[in-house]
Amino acid sequence: MKFVNPAASVFFTDRQTLEGVTDLCIAAHQDDIEIMAYAPIAACYDSGTRDFCGVVVTDGAGSPRSGEYKDYTDEQMKEVRITEQQKAARLGRYRAVAQLGYPSSAVKDGKNPDPVEDIYRLLTEIKPRYLYTHNIADKHDTHVAVALRTIAAVRRMPKELRPERVIGLEVWRGLDWMCDTDKLCLDTGAYPELATELLQVHRSQVEGGKRYDLAAVGRRYANATFFASHNTDSMSSLSFGIDLMPLVETDITPRGFIAEYISRFAAEVDGAIERLS
């Protein structure tokens, strides 16, 4: 595949083709895929009909570093993080992982057309059935930027080639705040050891004291436990998602789109307090 950014590359774990990939996750950083998209990774893991592919948009240069990585240069950190992401792809049996190699600043610059163009090229090459990215209420600017660039790229696709589903997922801010009726519930209960190992592969991050391996898995258990609905009785672990299809199918703005969810949440909290006062 030809990308605008010369630093971009695709790593295949086995078969050297993107044909047949059904589930595509577009994430900001190395490890975000394993934090937010475990449900589709697990669904594709042993499936004869679905195949997973990950995309990491940034280059990992700005990664936090401590312990044995403390004195690593940005260039060394990029190498470490690219390799860790490739290990995760092999372990999780992804078809491939594309690393687009953009500095965070380029992704956050809404006037830079290149990240959207490279995401668009991947989308039109793969034509995934299911697309996952960050939710646009995440508190990390680069995550929000990647979600916005992804939505812009999907909007550019001819209607008949667009994914059937586009879902925003949880990393730096869960979606527990959403009204229960607005939440999509994705089952993350399969292969519990794999769920943890995929996070521990990102050794440069986890060993620095940020226990993403415990936190991400713990959030999934908390989501399932504190979600009081009969239809999830069978799920012991789940990720919440937000349905981003209206952003693709209508011309609603991202700001207007998320404001509706936030106002429903505000009304629910306010209503309970009013009722009980």
Which residues of the shown chain bind Zn ion in the complex (CB under 5 A)? 28-29, 32
Nearest residue to Zn ion, using CB?
Answer: 29
- When the beta carbons of 136 and 235 are compared against Zn ion, the nearer one is 136
- When the beta carbons of 115 and 162 are compared against Zn ion, the nearer one is 115
Give the helix ranges, DSSP H, for the chain: 32-36, 38-45, 74-91, 104-108, 114-126, 141-156, 192-200, 203-206, 212-226, 245-249, 254-276
CB of 85 to Zn ion, least distance (A): 12
CB of 143 to Zn ion, least distance (A): 6
CB of 57 to Zn ion, least distance (A): 10
Q: Is the dihedral of CA 177, 129, 21, 185 positive or negative?
A: positive
CB of 140 to Zn ion, least distance (A): 6
CB of 29 to Zn ion, least distance (A): 4
CB of 224 to Zn ion, least distance (A): 23
- When the beta carbons of 28 and 39 are compared against Zn ion, the nearer one is 28
C-alpha to C-alpha distance for 246 and 136, rounded to whole angstroms: 13
C-alpha to C-alpha distance for 119 and 153, rounded to whole angstroms: 6
- When the beta carbons of 28 and 216 are compared against Zn ion, the nearer one is 28
- When the beta carbons of 28 and 41 are compared against Zn ion, the nearer one is 28
- When the beta carbons of 144 and 258 are compared against Zn ion, the nearer one is 144
Residues 6+ apart with CB under 8 A from 145: 28, 107, 108, 110
Closest CA to 115 of 128, 103, 131, 125: 103
The two three-digit tokens of residue 135, written as one number: 């939710």
C-alpha to C-alpha distance for 117 and 162, rounded to whole angstroms: 15
Q: Categorise residue 20: left if φ over 0, alpha if ψ from -120 to 50, beta otherwise.
A: left
